[in-house]
């Protein structure tokens, strides 16, 4: 699969080290990355510039990822990839959020990159419809 | 003992890591890197020694190669089940395999992270800092719960 290398990714995680790890990996894969430590920071970054994909921790102390998704998707179906260690807990609540994918911890970074690529292709072809959350790793 | 420049930030005791890998060169490289980053590092070259070291030093994180002689990474994890609740270390696995089954197995063990070889030293230290921070957060929360429970007992009219 060819890479959409000029894509910009917003990475949201309250843990600065995990944010850095994801940013390092994605930057190495050719993406342009911006980091945010809270949902409020993410919204502020989102208003400042446009992003192709948001990669966010699902369970953050400053408000969970679903609240962030609601705020981000108020105007358009922003593609969001949620990273979580508690997939089952959030599955039901995530059904009402559009254009979202789930990646369970721990994950292979190459799977995250594949997921981003698939999301970018979907976006480029205008397939931004309602989508049930699905797991990565072919589950 | 308090470390002035703890790698997880703040004035906390030095994080203890047990690293186990049968690849001596990788073990030395990881050990040097983590020691320089401010971790207290204990090494083991097989599963048996990893269990011994972990029982002796009570680490914050056990960093395990999945394929090792005398007990692979997953069996080391099983043998360390004696550490329950907030005393349990975090587990980070290292593997050269890209198979989804390895990721699934690590997930089933509730591993904190899975590092695919070759990995960047900066990535490793960031992942370990995060794992230590999460474990210590759980310990603080547990200590606070215990303190509150004790206060309730003390306040109970005799």
3-state secondary structure B70-91: CCCHHHHHHHCCCCCHHHCCEE
CA angle B99, B101, B103 (to 5 degrees): 85
Higher pLDDT: A2 or A90? It is: A90
In percent, how much of chain A has pLDDT > 70? 79
Examine the pLDDT at A55 and tell me if it is beyond 90.
yes
> What sign for the dihedral angle of Cα A15, A16, A22, A23?
positive
Long-range contacts of A60-68 (CB under 8 A, 24+ apart): A60/A12, A60/A13, A60/A14, A61/A14, A62/A14, A62/A38, A63/A38, A63/A39, A64/A90, A65/A12, A65/A39, A66/A90, A66/A93, A66/A94, A66/A97, A67/A39, A68/A12, A68/A39, A68/A42, A68/A43
- Mean per-residue pLDDT, A35-59: 93
pLDDT tens series, chain B, 158 aa:
445 557 766 556 899 999 999 999 999 999 999 999 999 999 999 999 999 999 999 999 999 999 888 778 899 999 998 776 778 999 999 999 988 899 999 999 989 999 999 899 999 999 999 999 989 988 888 888 888 888 877 776 66
How much is the mean pLDDT over chain A? 83
What is the residue extent of each domain of chain B?
16-155
Q: How many angstroms away from the CA of B124 is the closest CA of chain A?
A: 8
- For position A5, what pLDDT does the model report? 64
Distance between CA atoms of residues B136 and B128, nearest Å: 12
pLDDT for position A15: 92
Q: Residue B26: how many CB atoms within 10 A of its CB?
A: 15
CATH topology of domain B16-155: Rossmann fold (3.40.50)
CATH number at A8-124: 3.40.50.2300
Reported as a pLDDT band with limits 50, 70 and 90, residue A138 is: very low
For an interface test with B, which of A108, A109, A113 has the most B Cβ atoms less than 10 Å from its Cβ? A108
* Residue of B100, B107, B112 with shortest CB distance to A138: B100
CA nearest A101: which of A116, A89, A88? Answer: A116
State the pLDDT at residue A91.
67
Cross-chain Cβ contact B103/A106 below 8 Å? yes
Q: A53-57 and A8-12 as β-strands: parallel, antiparallel, unpaired?
A: parallel
């Amino acid at each position: 699969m060819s890479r959409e290398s000029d894509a910009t990714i917003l990475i949201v995680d309250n843990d600065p080290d995990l944010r850095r790890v994801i940013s390092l990996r994605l930057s190495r894969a050719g993406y342009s990355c911006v980091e945010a430590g809270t949902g409020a920071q993410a919204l502020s970054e989102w208003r400042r510039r446009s992003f192709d994909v948001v990669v966010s921790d699902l369970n953050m102390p400053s408000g969970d990822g679903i609240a962030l998704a609601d705020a981000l998707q108020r105007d358009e179906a922003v593609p969001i990839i949620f990273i979580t260690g508690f997939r089952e807990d959030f599955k039901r609540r995530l059904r009402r959020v559009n254009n979202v994918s789930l990646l369970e911890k721990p994950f292979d970074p190459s799977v995250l990159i594949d997921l981003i690529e698939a999301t970018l292709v979907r976006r480029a072809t205008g397939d931004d419809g309602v989508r049930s959350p699905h797991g990565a790793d072919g589950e | 003992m308090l470390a002035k420049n703890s790698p997880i930030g703040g004035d906390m005791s030095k994080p203890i890591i047990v690293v186990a890998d049968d690849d001596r060169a990788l073990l030395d490289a990881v050990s040097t890197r983590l020691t320089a980053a401010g971790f207290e590092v204990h090494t083991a070259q097989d599963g048996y020694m990893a269990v011994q070291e972990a029982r002796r030093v009570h680490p914050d994180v056990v960093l395990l190669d999945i394929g090792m002689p005398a007990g692979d990474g997953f069996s080391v994890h099983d043998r360390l089940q004696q550490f329950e609740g907030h005393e349990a270390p975090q587990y980070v696995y290292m593997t050269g395999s890209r198979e989804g089954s390895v990721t699934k197995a690590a997930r089933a063990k509730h591993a904190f992270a899975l590092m695919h070889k070759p990995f960047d030293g900066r990535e490793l230290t960031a992942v370990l800092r995060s794992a230590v921070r999460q474990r210590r957060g759980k310990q603080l929360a547990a200590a606070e719960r215990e303190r509150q429970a004790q206060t309730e007992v003390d306040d109970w009219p005799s």
